[in-house]
Amino acid sequence: MTAQKVIVGCCIAGAAILCSGAVNPWEDGKNAVLVEEVYTVKSGDTLWNIAEEYLQKNTGTRRYILEYKSGIEQNNPWLLERHGMIYPGDKLTLTYWVKGDTQ
């Protein structure tokens, strides 16, 4: 395995952890709330468009579209089996961080 593959693998794993909500992106842990929503796919939707829409809801941290799209796939393992293909009526679990009180 080349060093480049190891680095790419680590980046993908890190992105998946952040997108799945396992790590709080705020250092103090007091001003972040992880929001989880179920989105129903509509005709004409793509994973990219959905990622763009929900990435805008993520406040307070810098996230990148490819990282967020990868996180959607990690939160919905059946997408990996379908190679990312979505169809109207599919239900996607989406997560994002927002600033707010966690108590």
pLDDT tens, residue by residue, 16-43:
555 555 555 555 555 778 899 999 999 9
pLDDT mean over 80-94: 94
Q: Are 42 and 88 in contact (CB under 8 A)?
A: yes
What is the model's pTM?
A: 0.66
Q: Are 94 and 39 in contact (CB under 8 A)?
A: yes
Summary mean pLDDT of the chain: 79
DSSP code for 43: T
pLDDT mean over 62-66: 83
Q: How far is CA 80 from CA 26, 34, 73, 86, 89, in A?
A: 29, 23, 6, 11, 17
Could you state, in order of their start, the residue ranges of all structural domains in the chain? 40-102
